[in-house]
């Protein structure tokens, strides 16, 4: 039967990179998908000369987010209304409107209203360190869990990255990248994502990597054709990103392959 899945992300492009394949698969299987984005990504880096006179990066990234949502087939897109906090330990962390400083009760109430309106059966947030320590990602974790409790959303997943898999893939495919494109150093990923032993749910999205990549490309201010993600050959991209990984927040210990397994 059709279900409703909600994905809560911090910035435009996070949904495509971390969960684009899962979203595309859910839509292909006839489910409803709701995307809530906490900020418009005002503090992202972007190529010089990208913005038109008077245009803000937040406005550009909202347009890109809507284009990516169309690529993925998302049914409802909402912005929670906060400002990008920027990377950890930067001056923008102190902006009064930034998401990292938001009152968690107020923010979770905003999200809970959407979850309740949609009668969402699954909510996806981030792991407890936000994947790589970004303050907005960590706030998504806390706000999302509180909102799910308020709304009575029965199942919550923490999206993460399989640290061990990505280290293996980066080492294996580093030599296949175009000249001038560097893969991340596997040795520098020790605090990135989660170890395989913590992951409960591995979703096979190899059939949806073309859609995932198209959604990523829609975020052109952040992911240029020369970026690591989009410069990878198709085979390398499918190998590196043909699975998406989650930690299920309940007492079920068994491993699973889909977010809707055994959902009553």
Q: What is the pLDDT of residues 18-70, one digit of tens each?
A: 999 999 999 999 999 999 999 999 999 888 888 989 999 999 999 999 999 99
Q: Which two tokens stand for residue 184?
A: 């991340």
CATH number of the domain at 109, please.
3.40.50.10320
Bridge partners of 83, per DSSP, are 98
pLDDT tens digits, residue range 197-234?
Answer: 999 999 999 999 999 999 999 999 999 888 877 888 88
| 60 lies in some domain | yes
Q: Output the average pLDDT for the chain.
A: 91
Q: Decide if 261 is inside a domain.
A: no
Domain that holds residue 112: 4-248
The pLDDT of residue 16: 98
Domain membership flag for residue 9: yes
Provide the pairing of β-strand 243-248 with 201-204.
antiparallel
**Is 258 domain-assigned?**
no
Q: Looking at the 3D structure of the chain, how many domains does it have?
A: 1
End-to-end CA separation in angstroms for the chain: 10
For residue 229, tell me if it sits in a domain: yes
13: left (phi over 0), alpha (psi -120 to 50) or beta: left
Residue 263 lies in a domain: no
Please check whether residue 121 lies inside any domain of the structure: yes
Q: DSSP assignment of 98-162, as one string?
A: BGGGS-HHHHHHHHHHHHHHHT-SEEEEE-TTTTT--HHHHHHHHHHHHHHHHHT-SEEEEEE-B
Residue 264 lies in a domain: no
pLDDT by residue (tens digit) across 136-177? 999 999 999 999 999 999 999 999 998 888 777 766 665 555
pTM of the model: 0.91
């Amino acid at each position: 039967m059709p279900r409703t899945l909600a994905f809560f992300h911090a910035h435009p492009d996070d949904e495509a990179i971390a969960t684009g394949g899962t979203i595309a698969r859910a839509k292909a299987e006839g489910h409803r998908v709701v995307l809530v984005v906490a900020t418009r990504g005002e503090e992202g880096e972007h190529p010089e000369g990208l913005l038109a006179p008077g245009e803000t990066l937040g406005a550009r990234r909202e347009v890109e987010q809507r284009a990516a949502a169309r690529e993925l087939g998302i049914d409802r897109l909402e912005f929670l209304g906060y400002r990008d906090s920027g990377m950890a330990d930067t001056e923008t962390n102190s902006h009064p409107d930034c998401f990292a400083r938001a009152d968690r009760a107020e923010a979770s109430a905003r999200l809970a209203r959407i979850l309740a309106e949609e009668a969402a059966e699954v909510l996806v947030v981030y792991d407890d360190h936000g994947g790589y320590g970004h303050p907005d990602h960590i706030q998504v974790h806390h706000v999302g869990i509180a909102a799910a409790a308020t709304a009575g959303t029965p199942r919550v997943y923490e999206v993460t990255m399989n640290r061990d898999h990505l280290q293996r893939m980066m080492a294996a495919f580093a030599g296949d990248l175009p000249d001038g494109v560097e893969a991340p150093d596997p040795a520098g990923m020790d605090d990135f994502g989660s170890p395989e032993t913590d992951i409960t749910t591995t979703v096979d999205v190899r059939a949806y990597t073309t859609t995932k990549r198209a959604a990523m490309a829609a975020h052109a201010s952040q992911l240029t054709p020369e970026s690591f993600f989009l410069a990878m050959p198709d085979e390398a991209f499918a190998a590196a990103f043909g699975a998406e990984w989650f930690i299920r927040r309940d007492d079920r210990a068994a491993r699973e392959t889909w977010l809707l397994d055994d959902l009553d």
